[in-house]
Amino acid sequence: MAENRESFENLNQKLLAFVDNSPTSFHAVEQMKIMLEQAGCMRLREGESWKLKEGAGYYVTRNDSSLIAFRIPKRDFIGFQIMASHSDSPALKIKANAEIQIEKKYVKLNVEKYGGMLCSPWLDRPLSVAGRIVVRTSEGVATKLVNVDRDLLIIPSLAIHLNRKVNEGYEYNAQRDLLPLLGGPEAKDGFLKQIAREAQVEEEDILDTDLFLYNRMKGTVLGLNGEFIAAPRMDDLQCVFGSLMGFLKAGPKDSVAVHCVLDNEEVGSSTKQGADSTFLRDVLRRIHFAMGRSEEAYLMALASSFMVSADNAHSIHPNQPDKADPTNRPFMNEGIVIKYSANQKYTTDAVSGALFKAICDKAEVPYQVFFNRSDMLGGSTLGNISNSQVALNTVDIGLPQLAMHSCYETAGSRDTAYLVRAAQVMYSSSVQGAGDGMYRLNW
C-alpha cells in the first residue's frame, strides 16, 4: 500500500473522533448506525419480517450494544466474509442506589468492575458518566442514551505519606479504592437528578440504568514523528472502526460482506448480545432464507465462508521486552498481528492464517505473528467463542498496542490504515472451499 502521511493523519483523526463519541458500547453502536445510514444501509429489526434485495446494504442491532451490518451482492452468493470485533472495554459500572455519603462532607458513587481492567490509571484524572437509562412512558418503557459531557468525577489516590509502601506494589480493593468522588455535602441526592437533566426526563420516570464511568482525556497523536496514537478504549474500538471503514469502502461481488460488532467480550461473551449468543447465527440464517435458499445451501455457504476475529494484540513493551515470546515479536506500525495459540484461545490454524496472509498480500499491507510466551497464559477473544455458534474457517488478528485494558491505551498511527485496507479487500473477496484441502480465493 502506498504510504501517504496525510491519509494516515486524516484517518487517525476520524478514528479519534469515533472513539471520543463512543464512551460506551451503546454510543459506539449509535455512531455506527449513523455512518451506515449515511452510506445507504437500511435498518432491520429482529422482531419484524426481513425483505432483502440483491445489491442492498442493511444493519440490525441487539440490546443497543451489538450490531451486524451486511451487503448482499446477489441471490446466489458463495458464502459470507465476516469481520467480528467487540464494542465493550473494561470500565467501572455504577450500581443502583449509588450515592454514599462520608461524614456528611463528601458524596461518592458505588461502582463495580466490568472486565479485567488495569486499576491505577483510573485514579487522579477527570471522569464522567455515560450509558443508557430506561424510562417510563405513556406507551411502556423506552431506552435513552446519556452522556454527561463534562468533567464530573475523580477517584483520588491516597497520598504517599499515608501509604509509604504504595510504590512497592499495591492490591486495589474495588469496594474501597475505586469509588469516585461526586461532590461535597450539597451533592447529596444529586446524581440521578443530573442524569435526568441530561436525558431530559423526570427523575421519577427513570426505572433502571446501565451507566459507566469513562475517561475524559481526549485521544491524541504523539511521538517525535507522530508514530503513535493514544486514546481510551482502543481495545477494541480501533478494530471496530477499521472494520467499518473497510466495509463501507468494499464492493462485494460473490459473498455477503458482514461487519459484526458484539458486546460483552470483556466479561466472557455469554450474553444475549455476545459472541456466545445466537446473534450472528440468527442473522446469517435470516439472510440466507430471506433470499429463498435451502438449509443445505446454507451449510454449503458456511463451508465457503471466512471470518476474521479482530481484537487488538500486545506490542513488544519498550520497558519489559522480555514479557513477549522470544521469536515472534510484533511492534506497532509494522502491520496487522495474526494471533496463534496451541490451546485454541485463538482460532487461527495453518489454513486460516494462510488465507489471511493472502488477503494482506493482495491489500499490500504488512502482517506480523503473535504467540504468548510458553510460560504465560493469554486471554481469549471472539473467534473461538463465535465458532461454537457458527463453525467456519476463522483467523484471530489484532492491531499491536501498549497498555491494553488501561483507561488510556497506545497504538501505532499507521496500523488503522492497514486494517482498513485489509478489511476492504476481505469484504470484496470470497473464499471458496473446493474440497481436498483446496481453497479458491476470488478477488
Geometric angle at alpha carbon 219, from 195 and 333, rounded to 5°: 145
Q: Tell me the pTM.
A: 0.96
For the chain, what are the domain ranges? Answer: 5-89+232-442, 91-214
Say what the pLDDT of residue 437 is: 80
For residue 5, the model assigns a pLDDT of 65
Q: Return the CATH fold of 91-214.
A: Aminopeptidase i, Domain 2 (2.30.250)
How far is it, in rounded angstroms, from Cα 401 to Cα 390?
A: 29
Quick: pLDDT tens for 250-272.
999 999 999 999 999 999 998 99
Model confidence band, residue 197 (pLDDT cutoffs 50, 70, 90): very high
Region 180-204: what's the mean pLDDT?
97
Judged by average pLDDT, the poorest of 30-44, 78-92, 421-435 is 421-435
pLDDT of 82 over the 90 cut: yes
Of 24, 31, 39, 29, which Cα lies nearest the Cα of 279?
29
pLDDT band at 3 (very low <50, low <70, confident <90, very high): low
pLDDT for res 6: 56
Question: What CATH number was assigned to the domain covering residues 5-89+232-442?
Answer: 3.40.630.10
Q: Model confidence over 103-127: pLDDT tens digits?
A: 999 999 999 999 999 999 999 999 9
Higher pLDDT, 345 or 143: 143
Give the span between the Cα atoms of 246 and 12, in whole angstroms.
14
Residue (of 331, 268, 232, 301) closest to 19 by Cα position: 232
| Cell numbers found for residue 225 | 514523528
Share of the chain above pLDDT 70, in %: 98
Q: What is the pLDDT of residues 28-79, one digit of tens each?
A: 999 999 999 999 999 999 999 999 999 999 999 999 999 999 999 999 999 9
Q: With a cut of 90, say whether residue 434 has pLDDT above it.
A: no
Is the pLDDT at 364 greater than 80, yes or no? Answer: yes
Residue 83 banded pLDDT, cuts 50, 70, 90: very high
pLDDT band at 438 (very low <50, low <70, confident <90, very high): confident
Mean pLDDT (the chain, rounded): 95
Question: What whole-number distance in Å separates Cα of residue 143 and Cα of residue 146?
Answer: 10
Q: 338-350 pLDDT, tens per residue?
A: 999 998 889 999 9
Asked, colleague to colleague, whether 5-89+232-442 and 91-214 share their fold, the answer is no
Residue 2's pLDDT is 45
- Tens digit of each residue's pLDDT (9 = 90 or more) over 288-298: 999 999 999 99
Asked if 271 and 389 count as a contact pair (C-beta separation under 8 A), the reply is: no
Average pLDDT of the residues in 298-308: 94
At residue 7, the pLDDT reads 77
Q: Which residues pair with 306 in a beta bridge?
A: 81, 393
